[in-house]
C-alpha cells in the first residue's frame, strides 16, 4: 500500500510538472523537443514529426477529443515544438476549463473550444464515469452509453479503480453520468475559424471515430491526413471506414491501436505508408 501511494504521488507530481512546463512554454521544455527528441523508427510519432517539419511552420490541425491536451496525446509535443495552428475540441466543461484551455493559452492561432463535433449545431448527451474526474475516467467519456457500460463489464473501470485506490459505487446511478454538451458542425467550425486547409484531422472519440469521419464529410473537407483509433470499432464498421477512405484517395496504415490515413497525392510522406 505504501509503495502504491508513493508511486501514485510521484506520477501526480510528474504529470503536474510536465503540464505546467508546457502551459508556460518553458524554454527548456520546448528546446528538448526541438533539439533532442528522437521519435522511434517506424512509429506514428516518426511520421508526425517528419510531416510537421515538411510544412515548415504552416501546419493546421483539427483535433476531436483533445481531453487535457497532453496525457496520452500523440500530437502535443509537435504542437508545441512547431507552433501548430488549428482548433482543438473537448466537450467536457471541467476538463476544458481546468486543463485544455490552460495548456495552450500561449499558443497563438490555436483555439481550444468546449464542444463536440456533430452533424448540426446544438447539444448532445455525453456519458462519462460519474465518480471520478481523473484522466483515466475523463478519457473514457463517450456519446455511446453502451461503450461506457462495456468498460464496466470488461473490467477496465475496476482495473483503474484498483490502481488508484477507488471504489465503484454500488448505486448504478452514481457509476455513469449523462451531461449535455455543446455540439458544433464541421460547416460552422470551418466558417467560424476560417479554415482553408486541414493538414491533420486527429480523432480520439472512444468508439465514435467512424461517426466523426462520416460527420466530417471527408470528400468535401479533404484533410491531408487523418489519425483515428481503430481498436474500439466493430470489425465490419472499421472495414466500412477503410473502404470510404480508400475510395476518397487515402492510403492506410495501422500503428497499433491507431490508423493513419494519408492522401495518396502526398508523395513526400508516402514512404511512411509502406
Helix 145-153 vs helix 156-164: angle between axes, to the nearest 10 degrees?
60
pLDDT at 151: 94
Q: What residue spans define the domains of the chain?
A: 38-119+184-273, 125-179
Beta bridge partners of 142: 127
pLDDT at 205: 87
Cell of 63: 483535433
Angle at 260 between CA 153 and CA 157, to 5 degrees: 15
How far is the C-alpha of 107 from the C-alpha of 125, rounded, in Å? 30
How far is the C-alpha of 95 from the C-alpha of 105, rounded, in Å? 14
Cell of 118: 456533430
Please report, for residues 117, 119, 211, 247, 260, the alpha-carbon distance to residue 243 in angstroms, rounded to integers and kept in the order given. 22, 21, 14, 6, 14
Q: Would you say domain 38-119+184-273 falls under CATH 3.30.70.360?
A: no
pLDDT at 13: 85
Q: Which residues contact 123 (CB under 8 A, 6 or more apart)?
A: 180, 181, 182, 183
Note down pLDDT in tens along the chain; length 274 residues.
Answer: 555 566 667 777 888 999 999 999 999 999 999 999 999 999 999 999 999 999 998 999 999 999 999 999 999 999 999 999 999 999 999 999 999 999 999 999 999 999 999 999 999 999 999 999 999 999 999 988 998 999 999 999 999 999 888 999 999 999 999 999 999 999 999 999 999 999 999 999 877 888 999 999 999 999 999 999 998 788 998 999 999 999 999 999 999 999 999 999 999 999 999 8
Beta bridge partners of 113: 89
pLDDT at 108: 96
The answer to whether 126 and 148 have CB atoms below 8 angstroms apart is no
The answer to whether 114 and 91 have CB atoms below 8 angstroms apart is yes
The answer to whether 200 and 223 have CB atoms below 8 angstroms apart is yes
Say if strands 85-89 and 110-113 run parallel, antiparallel, or are unpaired.
Answer: parallel
Amino acid at each position: 500500500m505504501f509503495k502504491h501511494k508513493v508511486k501514485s504521488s510521484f506520477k501526480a507530481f510528474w504529470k503536474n510538472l510536465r503540464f505546467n512546463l508546457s502551459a508556460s512554454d518553458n524554454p527548456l521544455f520546448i528546446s528538448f523537443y526541438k533539439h533532442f527528441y528522437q521519435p522511434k523508427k517506424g512509429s506514428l510519432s516518426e511520421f508526425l514529426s517528419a510531416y510537421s517539419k515538411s510544412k515548415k511552420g504552416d501546419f493546421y490541425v483539427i483535433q476531436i477529443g483533445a481531453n487535457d491536451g497532453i496525457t496520452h496525446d500523440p500530437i502535443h509535443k509537435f504542437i508545441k515544438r512547431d507552433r501548430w495552428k488549428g482548433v482543438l475540441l473537448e466537450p467536457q466543461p471541467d476538463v476544458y476549463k481546468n486543463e485544455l484551455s490552460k495548456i495552450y493559452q500561449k499558443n497563438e492561432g490555436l483555439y481550444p473550444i468546449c464542444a463536440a463535433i456533430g452533424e448540426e449545431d446544438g447539444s448532445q448527451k455525453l456519458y462519462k464515469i460519474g465518480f471520478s474526474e481523473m484522466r483515466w475516467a475523463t478519457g473514457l467519456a463517450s456519446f455511446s452509453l453502451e461503450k461506457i457500460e462495456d468498460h464496466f463489464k470488461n473490467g477496465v473501470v475496476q482495473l483503474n479503480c484498483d490502481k488508484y485506490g477507488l471504489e465503484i459505487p454500488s448505486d448504478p446511478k452514481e457509476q455513469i453520468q449523462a451531461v449535455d454538451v455543446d455540439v458544433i458542425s464541421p460547416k460552422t467550425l470551418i466558417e467560424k475559424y476560417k479554415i482553408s486547409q486541414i493538414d491533420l484531422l486527429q480523432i480520439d472519440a472512444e468508439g465514435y471515430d467512424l461517426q466523426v469521419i462520416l460527420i466530417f464529410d471527408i470528400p468535401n473537407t479533404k484533410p491531408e491526413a487523418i489519425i483515428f483509433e481503430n481498436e474500439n470499432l466493430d470489425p465490419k464498421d472499421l472495414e466500412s471506414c477503410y473502404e470510404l477512405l480508400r475510395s476518397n484517395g487515402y492510403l492506410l496504415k495501422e500503428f497499433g491501436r491507431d490508423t493513419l490515413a494519408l492522401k495518396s497525392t502526398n508523395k513526400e510522406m508516402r514512404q511512411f505508408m509502406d
